Structure 1
Amino acid sequence: MEHLGALNAFVQTADAGSFSRAAARLGVSSSAIGKAVARLEERLAVRLFHRSTRSLMLTSEGSLFLDRCRRIFSEIEAAELELSQLREAPRGRLRVSLPLIGMLMMPAVMAFMRAYPEIELDLDFTDRVVDVIDEGFDAVVRTGEARDSRLMMRRAGGFAHRIVGSPDYLAAHGVPSTPDDLLRHACLHHKYPSTGKLERWPFLSDGAGFELVLPVTSVASTIEPQICLAEEGFGLACLPQFAISDQLRRGTLVSVLEDHLQEVGAFHILWPASRHPSPKVSAFVSFMADNLLRGPNG
C-alpha cells in the first residue's frame, strides 16, 4: 500500500505540474508529496522529474514510468468495477435481436424472464443482418459466426435438420430411401430474406456434403409456413429439428433420410466487446447459451 501511495503521489504530481497542486488534490502537505516522490526515485534509482525553482518537468524515464503507472491504476479501477458489478443484480432494459424463427425460442426467453424479473426485454425479430453496435443492440442471436472484431461471441448449441412430411403425403407418394428419390417429390423450400437464395438441404454422402437441385413446389421466407404446408400434405420440407420437435412427437410430421443429412446448424450469441460486460448482458449470454436449444438436437 505504501508503494501504491508513492505511485499515486507521482501520478498526481505529473498531472498537476507541481507538488503543491498534487498535495491539494490528495489533501496532504506538499512536503509529504515531495518526500514520497523522492523515496520513489531513490528506490528506482532513477530521476523522474527535472526540478527548478519555477518548474517541474518529467524526465524521459519519468514519462515512460507515468504510462505504466496509469495502466496500473486503470487496472485497479477496472477490478473494482468488475467486483461492484458482480454484486449488482442484473436489471434494466435489454435490447435483443433474434431471427424470425426466434418465436420458436420463446420457451427459453420466457424462462429467462422468470429468472431475471428486473430485466426488461426489448425483442426485435428479423432475419436482416443487424449492426449490433450502430443500432444499439445489447445482444443478438444468430446462426453463423461473427466477422466483426468489435463483437464477442458464444456458441449456443448446434442443431440438426430433418426432412419431414405428413403421414398422408408419404402414404400417397412413397417414402424416399435416397436423396435422388426427392427429385420425384414436391419440395417446400426456405428462402433467405436478405439474399433471396434458397437454403440448401444439407445432404451427406461418404462423410462429405453435396448439393442436389430439387424441385420447387413452394418458397417461404420463414419456417412456420413450411411447417404448416408439410403438415397439410403439400410436400416435404427440410427444417431444423428443434423447430418441429412437437410435430415429430405428435406424429403429424415424419422424418425421412436421417442418415443422409449432416448437422450444419448452430446458434451464436453476439454482443459488443467489453472487458466487463454489464450484469444484464452477462446473465442473458450465460442463460441462453445453456437453455436456447434443449435436448440433444434441440
Structure 2
Amino acid sequence: MDLFAGILPFVHVAQERSFRRAAERLGVSTAAVSKAVQKLEADLGVRLLERTSRQVALTPEGESFLERAREAVAQVRAAREVAAQAQSAPKGPLTVTLPYILSPLVLPRLVRLQARHPALTLHV
C-alpha cells in the first residue's frame, strides 16, 4: 500500500467540496479523483466523504482525517522546498580576478558572500 495514495485528491475534494473542481486543480479527470478517493476509503475501511448528486460533505472521520492529511501535505511540501533550495545554493570554486585598487570595495562583499554560502570556495 502506498502511504500517500489518494491523500492529495482527498484533500482537494475536501477543500473544494467538489470532485470536478478538485480534478481541475490537480489537472486530472473527475473519474481519476473519484477512484483515488474511493481507493483511499477502501484502504482505510472508513467513509471520508458523503456524496450526493448536489454536494460533497465530510463525515466526522473525514474531518479528523483531513486535519492530519493537511499537516502531512504541508510537511511534504516543506521538505521538497528544503531539498530544492539545497540544490540551488551556490557551491564549488569561484575565482575572482580584480585590480588591486578595487579590492577594498570587493573583498568585504566576497567575505559576506562566502558566509552566506559556506559550500562556496573563493579564489581571489
Query: TM-score when scaled to structure 2?
Result: 0.69
State yes or no: 1:117 paired with 2:118: no
* 1:1-298 to 2 correspondences below 5 Å: 2-87=2-87, 88-89=89-90, 114-117=110-113, 280=116
- For 2:28 and 2:48, the matched residues in 1 are separated by 21
Q: Do the aligned partners of residues 31 and 117 (structure 1) sit closer, same or farther apart at CA in structure 2, a change above 3 Å counting?
A: closer
Q: Please tell me whether Structure 1 or Structure 2 has the larger radius of gyration of its CA atoms.
A: 1
Shift of 1:42: 0.8
- For 1:49 and 1:67, the matched residues in 2 are separated by 14
Shift of 1:4: 2.5
List gaps (5 residues or longer) in structure 1.
Answer: 91-110, 120-279, 284-298
SS at match of 1:46: coil
SS at match of 2:37: helix
- For 2:108 and 2:72, the matched residues in 1 are separated by 38
Shift of 1:77: 1.2
- 1:2-40 per-residue CA deviation (whole Å, 9 max, x = no partner) reads 542411110111111111111111121111111111111
Q: Do the aligned partners of residues 114 and 64 (structure 1) sit closer, same or farther apart at CA in structure 2, a change above 3 Å counting?
A: same
> What amino acid sits opposite 1:53 in the alignment?
S
- Which has the larger share of helix? 2
- Runs of 4+ residues over 3 Å off in structure 1: 111-119
- 1:108-142 per-residue CA deviation (whole Å, 9 max, x = no partner) reads xxx985444377xxxxxxxxxxxxxxxxxxxxxxx
- Which has the larger share of strand? 1
List gaps (5 residues or longer) in structure 2.
Answer: 92-106, 119-124
Shift of 1:75: 0.9
- C-alpha RMSD of matched pairs (Å): 2.7
User: Using CA pairs below 8 Å that are at least 6 residues apart, which structure has the higher relative contact order?
Assistant: 1
- For 1:112 and 1:6, the matched residues in 2 are separated by 52
> What amino acid sits opposite 1:38 in the alignment?
Q
- Percent identity, aligned pairs only? 36
Query: TM-score when scaled to structure 1?
Result: 0.31
- For 1:117 and 1:27, the matched residues in 2 are separated by 41
SS at match of 1:117: helix
The equivalent of 1:228 in structure 2 is none
- For 1:79 and 1:69, the matched residues in 2 are separated by 15
